[in-house]
Amino acid sequence: MNNSNRGQKRDQVFRYGGDFAEQRIVRANGSYIYDSDGRAILDFTSGQMSGILGHGHPEIVAVVQEMAANLDHLHSGFLSDPVIEFAGALVDMLPPGLDRVLPLSTGGESNEAALRIAKTYTGGFEVVAFDRSWHGVTGGAAAATYSGGRRGHGPTLPGILTLPTPHAYRSPFNREGGYDWRAEFEFGWDMIDRQSTGQLAAVIIEPILSSGGIIELPEGYMAALQKKAHERGMLLIVDEAQTGMGRTGHNFAFERDGVVPDILNLSKTLGAGLPLSATITTAAIEQDCHDKGFLFYTTHAADPLPAAVGQKVVEIVIRDRLADRARELGDYLKSQLHDLQQRHALIGDIRGRGLLLGVELVTDRQTKAPASEAGAAISRRCLELGACLNISRRAMAGVFRLAPPLTVSRDEIDSAVAILDQALSECGTQ
């Protein structure tokens, strides 16, 4: 196919999130993707923040080949051994109590299921979400998403109430370098109580808000949140789409806080790049919903092929101690980024944990004015130099999200940091 025809066909792809990168990707392996010119590009977003084992992991390839040949898809009314074994592997990995697994395909789908479970169980319909959240683009998940995609297509579901995101770097409750998250927290809940019609059902949160700008919840926040929720008869839903399966230095990010959610949602990292998600809850909640006629049939619920992949991902994460590796390499990457911050005034803040880190760019460290235009230029330059650190979107251009595979090497980290350093020098304001 000549370049003219390829360009014409490229234009036939609906732009679902802004413009596409100019590079056309033809293959991927390990920590690299390769474009049509044969250029190797370090993939420091793990695909769509998902490929924690890198591209083409041989054990995952073997599972896909075997399952595609023997047992790939079934009617949702059937169970298969891969699904049963996948559920068992997840339950064994989780704290006691989280022992009922609903296997699904995407993060948005798992959040839809969680919200429906919470509403069925509590009898309420109101949902509390952070004002910088991202939970998906389907109906209920989109209604609880505030970091983008809210305009231009009419009203969202009723009953979605917002809680201020505890963003230490930018919160109005950060005064003279001291961040009083508890005061902000109480203020937010006072506003929720004023707005609620008395039919609260759930709080849905990300332990680290990724699309919101890599905003990490302060220690103690999740426990306080669960207490507020339970006092009001609500369930706590923790959406670990990007933080689960070792990425933050724990198998699951909620473990740092000693909190066990009522419902846990896993996606992205669970399938290591393949479409797999899970909504996990307690036996009591599952039994109550079942007794009430809970229904959540989807075409690919409990499909055996992705379930087998998920079981293998769980095995590899535990066997290879990838949470420990993410913690060690995350500390190393963070130290490299802090060195860059000393040389580039454009870097205002570095945050996150494990191998999910954020670098926020500002035009002035005192005013903290966002450097979105510079961020977009730096992102493009990094891609030209051979590193996908963040393909800029308008809402996120000033914050780089760094989430390499948990299998990344120190040499690959050094290469990515060197590329970011060069791009900052060429495109940023010193």
Please check the confidence at residue 1 and state whether its pLDDT lies above 70.
no
Residues 6+ apart with CB under 8 A from 161: 126, 127, 128, 129, 192, 195, 196
Virtual torsion, Cα 106, 109, 115, 119, nearest 10 deg: -150
Supply the pLDDT for residue 395.
Answer: 47
> What is the largest distance, in Å, between two alpha-carbon atoms of the chain?
64
**Token digits for 154?**
């009419």
- 242, 353, 381, 412: the active-site residue: 242
Supply the pLDDT for residue 398.
Answer: 87
Supply the pLDDT for residue 10.
Answer: 83
- 268, 312, 327, 353: the active-site residue: 268
Please check the confidence at residue 131 and state whether its pLDDT lies above 60.
yes
- 206, 216, 257, 412: the active-site residue: 206
* Residues 136-147: tens digit of each pLDDT: 999 999 999 998
Please check the confidence at residue 259 and state whether its pLDDT lies above 70.
yes
Reported as a pLDDT band with limits 50, 70 and 90, residue 414 is very high
Q: How far is CA 262 from CA 113, 118, 141, 297, in A?
A: 13, 9, 18, 22
**421 is known as an active-site residue:** no
CATH assignment, 60-319: 3.40.640.10
Of 371, 357, 359, 363, nearest to 421 by C-alpha is 359
Q: What is the mean pLDDT of residues 218-245?
A: 98
CA–chain centroid gap for 144, Å, is: 15
**206 is known as an active-site residue:** yes
Q: What is the mean pLDDT of residues 154-167?
A: 95
* Helix or strand holding residue 345 (H, E): none
* Residues 240-255: tens digit of each pLDDT: 999 999 999 999 999 9
**134 is known as an active-site residue:** yes
11-43+322-427: what fold? Aspartate Aminotransferase, domain 1 (3.90.1150)
Report the C-alpha gap between 420 and 425 in whole angstroms.
9
Reported as a pLDDT band with limits 50, 70 and 90, residue 57 is very high
- 43, 216, 239, 240: the active-site residue: 239
- 134, 240, 325, 336: the active-site residue: 134
Angle (CA) 294 297 302, round 5°:
110
Find the length of the chain: 430
Q: What is the mean pLDDT of residues 109-132?
A: 98
Please check the confidence at residue 7 and state whether its pLDDT lies above 70.
no
DSSP per residue over 266-334, as a string? Answer: E-GGGGTTSS-EEEEE-HHHHHHHHHTT-----TTTT-HHHHHHHHHHHHHHHHTTHHHHHHHHHHHHH
Q: What is the mean pLDDT of residues 261-268?
A: 98
Q: What is the mean pLDDT of residues 99-112?
A: 97
Supply the pLDDT for residue 390.
Answer: 80
Reported as a pLDDT band with limits 50, 70 and 90, residue 393 is low
Domains 11-43+322-427 and 60-319 share a fold: no
* Residues 106-120: tens digit of each pLDDT: 999 999 999 999 999
For the four alpha carbons of 164, 165, 166 and 172, in that order, the dihedral sign comes to: negative
Of 226, 287, 231, nearest to 257 by C-alpha is 226
Report the C-alpha gap between 350 and 367 in whole angstroms.
16
**181 is known as an active-site residue:** no
For the four alpha carbons of 406, 411, 416 and 421, in that order, the dihedral sign comes to: positive
Supply the pLDDT for residue 176.
Answer: 77
Residue 71 burial (10 A CB sphere; 0-12, 13-18, 19+): middle
Reported as a pLDDT band with limits 50, 70 and 90, residue 391 is low
Supply the pLDDT for residue 430.
Answer: 41
Residue-range domain boundaries for the chain = 11-43+322-427, 60-319
Residues 6+ apart with CB under 8 A from 4: none
Angle (CA) 185 186 191, round 5°:
100
